[in-house]
Structure 1
Amino acid sequence: MAPSAIPIEPSVEYTQHSDLAAGKIVVKSLNGDKLQNKIKDSTSKQPFDIISSTISFRKPEHQFWWDKTGSQLAELLKYAGYSKAEQYNELLFYGVHIVPELGPTPDENGHLTWKSPQTPDGTPLDLSWEWGLEGKGVIRTSFEPIGPMAGTQQDPFNRFETDTWIKHLDDQGLVTGLDLEWYNHFMATVLPSELERVSMTEKLNFELAPVAGTFVTRDIDRNGPIIKLYIFPGLRAQELGISNLDVVVRAIRSLPAEQYASLRCEPMLEYLHEAAEKWKMDVGIFSFDLISPQQSRLKIYTRAPNTTVEYLMDALMLGGRYDMSMYSEEAIADVKDFWRIFIGDAPSELPSSVERAGPGFYFTVKAGKPTTPKVYISPASFCKDDAEVLKRLRQYFSTRKNADKMLPQMDNYEKALQSIYGDDFLSSTSDIHFYVSCALAKDHLRVVTYLCPQTLAREELARKKRMVIG
């Protein structure tokens, strides 16, 4: 997209949607020409600097989130190979439509009424990098919309903010192709209907189940953005006294008959029940795209304490129900290598007390397509720090046939993380890479790494240092 195509709306303060944006943001340049002139006149400044000089936030918490996380997104976009025009477009959308949804910041004592269980330190945002085969990455943002009173008596469940944000996108026509049919169906069938019947437990709070029950992602895809919704079925399961899997199965089977039949998902659902017994596999998250049901993908995220290659292959083959003949021997070898490199010498079964321990799978179904299983692993269970995660990623890519394209991307990825976190922090924490993921394609593996900005963790470190100095 050329700079001249960057969308700058005339009513930039979004006063037409007072619940979301009125009073939150002032855009200093009220028309595209002025912003384009800034872009043309700038030879040394980066897109983040230009956007920062174009918009300002009336609330300090919004300025905080923009300064801390917008700069990280900017670094990832730059090193992933996005054009300057694409960087401007994505950063502007992020600043105007996502930053105001990230909620309050910690008070002077480090207290925060709402910490998102989406990430290890409670930051309500994660950023992911999909490793493109041609040397460029695809960056995605994932966040939990947080209401101003979330975690207080007025809004103990942060119940409404996701819905408000989605309806805002729909009302303003901000995402081409946005379709809310499945959104309305699954919000009604996977989230609890009576919150007073749900009691939060420590397990529920950690087990990928924020009490709101949802978070949102926006794929910054090179073909255009896609909005995805993620729902945690644990609260509905507690309300009804059934398993997470049963909640998801009931929701899928209650789709209109034609839609359900087109998914051809019965073999997957049968396997998930089987794997619950065989591997102690548990369902953690249910996800879908907010596009037409004919094009949308359903995803069921699971994990188990087992780490063996036998478990890996059983899940990939859906217990023998899935024909893997479409994949080359090289692709099968790749997924086994990826698994072994990140699992290392871990015991064959991990203790249940280890947070986010077990490697897992997410199973994707789409109308007219076969089910596809994908791997995700929490490196913190197997690597001493994030510097080691980088070493293992490099080990994997350096031994692939397309190493000549992947290693330059690995160099850029390391540069981005060094710029964002610094070498000392990368060597002192294991919570930046909270997941590494891979999926089989015909003759290769598609790899995605999921990054926690560590915004709240680093703020807490800074607060403690100030206390020592003071």
Structure 2
Amino acid sequence: MTVVQETHIQAPLGKLKAPMPDDRPWQVLGSLLPFNSPDHKLWWEKFGSITQDHLEGTNYSVGAQYRYLLMLHSMILPVLGPLPNKARTNLKWPFFLNNNDPCEISVNYQGNSEPCVRLAIDPSGPMAGTKQDPMNDHVPRRLLENLTSMQSDIDFQLFDHFNDNMVLSNKMARNHWESVKEHEIKSQRILAFDLQDDSFTVKTYCVPLIRSLTTGVDPLSLTFDSIKAICSDSTVLSALSMVDNYLAGPESLALDFNTYMSFDLKELVDSRFKIYVAAKVKSSEEAYDFWTLGGRLKGEEIERGFELVQRIWDIVWESPLPSGKPREYIPIHWNWEFSPKSPYPVPKAYFQLWDEYDGVVPEAVTSLFEHLGWTEYLATHRKIENASYSAFDLNKTVEVYTWVSIAFSNKKGPYVTVYSNPAACL
């Protein structure tokens, strides 16, 4: 047996353990890169490890793994704040994502395409929530500016427009603080990244609730009006009106406090708008009504898509809740996508699975992928799942999985995204 002598590299911060020949990119970088704080290192150990599992499990090149792990270390982890403790009592800025957590990671699966790893973060500064920076005003845009060093085509026109029209600035918040301070979650901007092997795309989520509290304009109207103020494309506006008319109806079950929208940080002609609403859906008939916008969306594409929604619905509905209480509804976030390329909005269903046994998600994903004949994708999903659980010695009752989303289009066919919450792995 050969004994490998441990060596060190002399660096500005002192002696660092040299990487071993078989180390993965996450291990190599962790042995070489400095950390600004204990939380920075803790995030690297948790989020960095899980990101490595996802990139490796979906067969990203070694070069892409290094590039995105370096981006995570140098730009993203420093703006996640402290690693949440189990009770979330150490968080000064209440986050919008999941169960008050600042990040999530997901894999998007589409027929005839390589799986795509996605990151979503709620970036915050050290003064977020204080008198100096009550609405966390500056960090999201500053992060995007930093990212242009890696991806020069990030376009700021839409970000600046919706920032001015949908969210509340520090100055406005100070003038309306009595209204604002009562609302616990003040987060208004989420950034999300689709990581391709050689490049990435960015989209921003805007949450209009706080702006709504100070203006008296409901969140959906703020959203629709903000899109109309910058987009004059008749195709987009026609599709937008279908969703507007449906959600404005007296029978709408949408919850205003979970209304938000997203857009690509691209030039206006190439961007997509997505509107999200949440609902406590009590039957598959109600789910079908959301999916079809009350019958406004028709055709084979819509029906084939809902077959997948129905499959997930049946599995989740028949699964017992950990609380032991009878199931009365399934929380679903509905999304409709608009772009100049389609005269009709494309629906997507996000099954919110925070309060489920984690075993429900593998069962639902396995059933769906087997139904679609996605044997390779199923193997990929299981590989990532096993790596993530084994890395932190987790059991199957922790809340690692947060969402499963489903959509369908004639061009893309079915596409499914499985979301995980790295902050749950404490």
Q: Same fold (TM over 0.5)?
A: yes
CA contact (8 A) 1:300 1:364 kept: yes
Question: Taking structure 1 as reference, are residues 84 and 132 closer, same or farther at Cα in structure 2, changes over 3 Å only?
Answer: farther
How far apart in 2 are the matches of 1:403 and 1:212? 37
Matched, 1:245 2:206: no
One-letter identity of the residue aligned with 1:53: S
Matched, 1:371 2:345: yes
CA contact (8 A) 1:334 1:444 kept: no
Matched, 1:306 2:274: no
Matched, 1:413 2:389: no
Question: Taking structure 1 as reference, are residues 322 and 176 closer, same or farther at Cα in structure 2, changes over 3 Å only?
Answer: farther
How far apart in 2 are the matches of 1:281 and 1:148? 31
CA contact (8 A) 2:351 2:405 kept: yes
CA contact (8 A) 1:57 1:63 kept: yes
1:50 aligns with 28
Deviations 1:335-388 (A, max 9, x none): 3212222233787854xxxxxx6212111111232310100111234x3x2133
Matches within 5 A, 1:51-450: 51-105=29-83, 111-120=90-99, 122-133=100-111, 136-170=114-148, 172=149, 174-192=150-168, 194-196=172-174, 197-198=176-177, 199-200=179-180, 204-205=183-184, 210-222=185-197, 224-256=199-231, 258-259=232-233, 262-264=236-238, 265-274=240-249, 277-282=251-256, 283-326=258-301, 330-344=304-318, 350=329, 358-369=331-342, 370-381=344-355, 383=356, 385-398=357-370, 400-424=371-395, 426-427=396-397, 429=398, 431-442=399-410, 444-450=413-419
CA contact (8 A) 2:276 2:336 kept: yes
How far apart in 2 are the matches of 1:262 and 1:403? 33
Question: Taking structure 1 as reference, are residues 28 and 269 closer, same or farther at Cα in structure 2, changes over 3 Å only?
Answer: farther
How far apart in 2 are the matches of 1:108 and 1:410? 26
How far apart in 2 are the matches of 1:269 and 1:43? 57
Deviations 1:2-29 (A, max 9, x none): xxxxxxxxxxxxxxxxxxxxxxxxx969
Residue 263 of structure 1 deviates from its aligned partner by 4.5
How far apart in 2 are the matches of 1:348 and 1:53? 48
CA contact (8 A) 2:305 2:407 kept: no
One-letter identity of the residue aligned with 2:377: M
How far apart in 2 are the matches of 1:245 and 1:220? 30
One-letter identity of the residue aligned with 2:337: T
How far apart in 2 are the matches of 1:119 and 1:367? 31
Computed over aligned residues only, the root mean square deviation of the Cα atoms, in angstroms, reads 3.0
Deviations 1:397-440 (A, max 9, x none): 23x1414333322321322332344342x32x2x3212111111
Question: Taking structure 1 as reference, are residues 183 and 117 closer, same or farther at Cα in structure 2, changes over 3 Å only?
Answer: closer
Residue 301 of structure 1 deviates from its aligned partner by 0.9
How far apart in 2 are the matches of 1:299 and 1:401? 26
CA contact (8 A) 2:304 2:408 kept: no
How far apart in 2 are the matches of 1:365 and 1:83? 32
Identity of counterpart residues, as a percentage? 24
How far apart in 2 are the matches of 1:146 and 1:298? 24
Deviations 1:49-104 (A, max 9, x none): 12223321233332222222111111111112222222112111111121121124
Q: TM-score, normalised by structure 1?
A: 0.76
Deviations 1:25-58 (A, max 9, x none): xx969xxxxxxxx9xx964111111222332123
Q: TM-score, normalised by structure 2?
A: 0.84
One-letter identity of the residue aligned with 1:446: Y
How far apart in 2 are the matches of 1:108 and 1:441? 40
Residue 157 of structure 1 deviates from its aligned partner by 2.5
One-letter identity of the residue aligned with 2:404: V
Question: Taking structure 1 as reference, are residues 280 and 227 closer, same or farther at Cα in structure 2, changes over 3 Å only?
Answer: closer
Q: Work out which of the residue numbers 452, 455, 458 in structure 1 matches 2:421.
A: 452
Greater strand proportion: 2
Residue 244 of structure 1 deviates from its aligned partner by 1.1
Q: What are the ranges of 5 or more consecutive residues in structure 2 without an aligned counterpart? A: 1-9, 13-17, 321-325
Secondary structure (helix, strand or coil) at the match of 1:235 reads helix
How far apart in 2 are the matches of 1:311 and 1:326? 19
Secondary structure (helix, strand or coil) at the match of 2:354 reads helix
CA contact (8 A) 1:128 1:448 kept: yes
How far apart in 2 are the matches of 1:394 and 1:368? 32
